[in-house]
Amino acid sequence: MLIARLIADQQGIETRVDAATKALAEADMPVAMAGMLDFCGDVLQFALPHGDPAQLTALLVEHFGEVDQLVADHEIEVPRLFVSDMDSTMIGQECIDELADFAGLKDRVAAITERAMRGELDFADALTERVSLLEGLEETAIDRCLAERIVPVPGARTLVATLAAKGCRTVLVTGGFHHFADPVADRLGFERVVGNRLGVHDGKLTGELAGPISDASTKLATLEEERDQLGEGARVLATGDGANDIPMVEAADYGIAYRAKPKARDAANGRIASENLTSILKLLGIAQSDWVEG
């Protein structure tokens, strides 16, 4: 069984549903049901007895465009665990790029960040290089950066608060830094934070990390550890945007790429192309009347 949900513009919806249904049947993926969810008025659901998820996603994009969507091999339900990336996912910025601006190095650091997110550079090497460029920067620049630059993306607080109210454990796991992730987690309501630690001596950054690197393997290990504690059958949601998030996203029942780089988007079984993370709540079938505004 395959279940596909997408947030669709209702203009001309019947024509597009008919065309998509025909295309799916021609691809040997007959549609058993297609219709709008009663409790989420702009969410269109397709139910298929069998099919290929990647091909289904591609055909839906062909007929409905790059819309917010989720494909699963079971009836979609509220997850019991939510594990999320931070930079460019829960917040709209890359913290290390913004911090580098206080050292006059934003363009240089941002170029490395972009390549790492696309999977063109080894993450650990790219992180070590970028951190080394910050040697000597006053630690107080972090507080200024947090206050002046770091902003949650639309819907982030509501997503975390609503899932928590539904009994879902929330974990923020980042290849970024605790200096940023801890206050962001407090602001958004995450219960646990996993990330890197910047080395500091005499009030200045040392240009090194303090402790092991938090990378793609750390994100996956965190998800697996948390899932194992919940027991068999616990559904897991994971969100991210870059290559570093791919193992975590692939391991989740609902791996959702948020405005993601191509490699991460293609690895996910869900995607959010719009700005607001409350689209995830709609795709999970949580009625807006149940949302907890952050």
Nearest to 87 by CA among 210, 155, 180, 154: 180
The residue whose two tokens read 């024509």 is 15
Those residues with Cβ within 8 angstroms of residue 55's Cβ, 6 or more apart along the chain or in another chain: 27, 29
Provide the Cα torsion 148, 292, 253, 52; round to 10°: -100
SS3 of residue 264 by DSSP: helix
62 to 12, 16, 17, 67, 184: CA distances (angstroms) = 15, 10, 12, 10, 37
Catalytic residues: 85, 87
Q: Are 84 and 173 within 8 A, CB to CB?
A: yes
Q: How many CA atoms lie within 13 A of 128 on its CB side?
A: 8
